Structure 1
Amino acid sequence: MRRSGRRLAAAALALTLPLAFSAPAQAHDRGADQPRIIVTQDGEVDDMDSFIRFLYYANEFDIAGIVYSSSRYHWAGNGADVAPYRWTGTAWVNEYIDRYAKLYPNLRKHAAGYPTPAELRSLYKIGNVSNVSEMTQVTEGSEWIKKTILDGKPGPLYVQAWGGLNTTARALKSIQDQYSGTRNWPALQRKISQKVVIYNILNQDATLADYIKPNWPDIKIIDNQSQFWSFAYLWTRQVPAAYQPTLKAPYMETNFLNGHGALLERYRTYRDGKPTPGDDENNRWRPDQNLTYDVHDFISEGDSPAYMYLFDFNGLRSSENPTYGGWGGRFAPNASGWIDTTDVNTFTGAADRAFPQTRWVADLQNDFAARADWGVTPRYRDANHNPRATVREGLDLSLKPGRSVTLHGRGSDPDGDAVSYRWWQYTDAGTYGGTLGLSTAGPNVSLTVPADATAGQTIHLIFEVTDGGTPALKHYQRVILTVR
């Protein structure tokens, strides 16, 4: 398994973190070379759907915790002066893991590394759920996060905020309370700030602004404040029409909702007639509401980008640097780390804050559809699996302006399907502002580094291999040319 040795960085701020190592496109074992993550979520309908998808990709991560938190949209109440608000309970997580257990024997036939249901149950902890932004209580969830932050394993440790950050804030506050003022505190705080990376979806409570940033200013934050909406409730306004079919009812019914096992029986869609107990204010399930959507259109997985950012198995290398972009969006440096940014929409020609996410929708939906098949297909040969792309010259090249090069790509498929090839320049990810005239011939591409490119600028090229299976699956290789 290849170690890239690169560091996740925002060059303008000279912020560096250890890299989550790349993984092969096919089966592999979980371990130290995979992104280490803690999921925190608040039990909204889209968290539930994001969690279902997450379970199908659980083999791609070193999962260190699954923690229930609250948010400004959902809390449990305290049984006294705080009433519950849109509270969906905590039992559904274990129910979904039980349903995952029914698919687990099949999933293992298609890829190695899936955690056992027992492992997942052992990682599930209840955090600070009594109220929005509540972080005064020390909870099972906050202590679990604290213990994980303080363990001897090196970073990065990606803490994903699908809801509020209050349980994470409580964990950090407990560390501060215990060690602040001691001789080792400055060094410990620096070490933690280098280890922890927060992927924040929206600002779903006040604890990031009120506690984490003032007290832990060097913790890096990947801040998704708007791109996630393109994979959430209002996707019809964000996703280009050409990519919307994979979110509409016929695709959803064929690939997920019908005949795909116990776990996807719980996957929620628009107007499906299935209320969420406790969340009476969310009427998107009602057949007589939301009439701009068809029954069983995609509803929302607004939190899935938090872990899709770490999908290195697809070859996009997105976790190496948030500015690279991939299935979890693309980001630009800011004072706290990175904030979601724009790509040029290839359909409109305009800068579009949703497009770094929406450009991948068809690919990531087809990939999920294949894994949905894995869960109900006991024989490897009866399902589709990702092809494999490689580039002979390697993935990091350094060339002077005016130099020409031919890159030799190769594609293969474990199922014996025919493969097709495409090379394209990801102009938004590179720091060279112009476009190259790529000359392609099958899996190979020839190019010349432009004369106006200056030293240190980068050019990102994506080699894309698509198989002929159903659904059609892809694997990519990102080649980064750095100008000498």
Structure 2
Amino acid sequence: MKQTFVYLTVFLVASNYILSSCASSKGEKQTAQRPRILISTDIGGTDPDDNQSMAHFLMYCNKFDTEGLISSPSFGSGSQEEILRMIALYEQDLPKLKKHATGWAEPDYLRSITKQGRKGTVPYCGYSTATQGSEWIVKCARRVDERPLWVLVWGGLDDLAQALHDAPDIADKIRVYWIGGPNKKWSTNSYAYIVEHFPHLWFIENNASYRGFIGQKKVKDEFNAGYYDSYIRGGGKLGADFINYLNGNCKLGDTPSLLYMMDGDPDNPMRESWGGSFAPLTHSPRVIIDHPTTAADTVPIYSIMEFRIKGPKIDIPADSICITLTIGKQQWGGYYLGNGKYAVRHATYYTGTLPYTITSNIPEIPVWKGEITVANMWPGVSCHTDYVLGNTWYTDKPDLSLFENEIQGAHTVSRWRNIVMADWGNRWNWLKE
């Protein structure tokens, strides 16, 4: 079910903002103190919307106690230098921001908490060696504070998995909001490690709802395709930089994680909020495939597909890449697990029937050719191979009335988008003075 918001004037937008903010929390308490957050991002990689969300964060950073900015590009060329470049833009705009609000993070402080995480994917086991980023997650989580550390993940989970592996005691000190979906395919191994070994983690797995924030980006109005010209153009150094990402068209796919922390009570993920409303997830689907499949074989969208192949016992280190899965025009490395067992994991946010092949330079391993049908049902019916989760794991609501353009839970985010963008527009105006 779709809901259309019509705003005749800026006054009506502001009025609706006040009323809807009260309604969104359904009478629950508003955030009484600034939340502790740490952002893990693949900024500078394959998707420029992380730069957009970083600009949004910097313009609202007075709402948070920010403890870390981690560059975690499991795929692509992202690095901490891109975060530092964005901080430099913020530094030039900060005097104007300070005229309107207090509590802004100083640029040198933000630089001091910017750390480099893992570059490249982790092996089958889901972890590798500690990084500056994973060690920083551990350090922040172990600080004595009555507030939990909210880890907002905008990319892969590799540094989070590494931190949990190296310091399992932090599991009850952190809460995770993950923008999953396409990010899941880049971190299937680290995701599998986390769900198997930390099923009781407090975790929001947002695979689809966040897309409610980008679903109307082609609509030619002031809050969508016209937003740059209506609000951003002329807005300081951050505004001048914004045009470099998607031609200034606002995607902001990672921003719902920030919005969730800004609106209402983040301790209750089932409430309505700017960043979505979620349902408990009791199992995370995993499908083990030990033979070539056909189009008649169906898996849930976002599920972990684990292809297992038998082959020769060879003398190479366990977790050595030696098979290749080609699916959806992309290639994924598979591993030798030892004792003649080989495996490769995959996850996708596409639906429909996908052809695939599995090949290897090891002659004794036969070529697999098959098809698999991905159904738009998450998490779907439980299976004995699924990962069983505790009672603090949440995901996109399955209510059909909350689907938009076949995207599960999208309406829990899209319904607040115009209000959010109007509020951000006020801050862009600060930078035009």
* Contact 2:141–2:174, Cα closer than 8 Å, also in 1: yes
Q: Is 1:356 aligned with 2:379?
A: no
Match of 1:369 in 2: 425
- 1:45-102 deviations in whole A, cap 9, x for unaligned? 111110010000100011110001023xx2xxxxxxxxxxx31443221111111011
Match 1:259 to one of 225, 229, 234: 234
Letter in 2 for 1:304: T
Letter in 1 for 2:41: Q
Q: What SS does structure 1 have at the residue aligned with 2:421?
A: helix
- The CA deviation at 1:343 is 6.7
Letter in 1 for 2:91: A
Letter in 2 for 1:101: E
Match of 1:303 in 2: 254
Shift of the 333–131 alpha-carbon distance from structure 1 to 2, 3 Å rule, reads closer
- The CA deviation at 1:143 is 0.8
- 1:254-279 deviations in whole A, cap 9, x for unaligned? 201x211101222147763xxxxxxx
Match of 1:37 in 2: 37
- 1:415-442 deviations in whole A, cap 9, x for unaligned? xxxxxxxxxxxxxxxxxxxxxxxxxxxx
Q: Map of 1:80-479 to 2, 5 A cutoff?
A: 86-131=76-121, 135-176=127-168, 189=169, 192-202=170-180, 203=184, 204-232=186-214, 235-236=216-217, 245-249=222-226, 251-256=227-232, 258-268=233-243, 272=247, 296-298=248-250, 300-312=251-263, 317-335=264-282, 336=389, 337-341=393-397, 353-377=409-433
Match of 2:58 in 1: 55
- The CA deviation at 1:208 is 4.5
Q: TM-score, normalised by structure 1?
A: 0.55
Q: What SS does structure 2 have at the residue aligned with 1:246?
A: coil
Which protein, 1 or 2, shows the higher relative CO under an 8 Å CA cutoff with sep ≥ 6? Answer: 2
- Taking the aligned partners of 1:102 and 1:270, their CA distance within structure 2 comes to 20
- Taking the aligned partners of 1:363 and 1:259, their CA distance within structure 2 comes to 21
Shift of the 271–168 alpha-carbon distance from structure 1 to 2, 3 Å rule, reads closer
Q: What SS does structure 2 have at the residue aligned with 1:309?
A: helix
Q: TM-score, normalised by structure 2?
A: 0.61
- Taking the aligned partners of 1:131 and 1:351, their CA distance within structure 2 comes to 28
- The CA deviation at 1:330 is 0.8
* Contact 1:227–1:329, Cα closer than 8 Å, also in 2: yes
- Structure 1: runs of 5+ lacking an equivalent: 1-18, 24-32, 75-85, 177-188, 273-295, 378-484
- Taking the aligned partners of 1:56 and 1:271, their CA distance within structure 2 comes to 19
Match of 2:291 in 1: none
Match 1:67 to one of 67, 70, 73: 70
Letter in 1 for 2:31: S
- Structure 2: runs of 5+ lacking an equivalent: 1-27, 283-388
Please give the root-mean-square deviation of Cα atoms over the aligned residues, in Å. Answer: 2.9
Shift of the 346–217 alpha-carbon distance from structure 1 to 2, 3 Å rule, reads closer
Match of 2:31 in 1: 22
Shift of the 244–352 alpha-carbon distance from structure 1 to 2, 3 Å rule, reads farther
Match of 1:397 in 2: none
- The CA deviation at 1:352 is 6.2
Q: What SS does structure 2 have at the residue aligned with 1:38?
A: strand
Shift of the 100–254 alpha-carbon distance from structure 1 to 2, 3 Å rule, reads same
Shift of the 194–137 alpha-carbon distance from structure 1 to 2, 3 Å rule, reads closer
Letter in 1 for 2:193: Y
* Contact 1:45–1:268, Cα closer than 8 Å, also in 2: no
* Contact 1:307–1:328, Cα closer than 8 Å, also in 2: yes
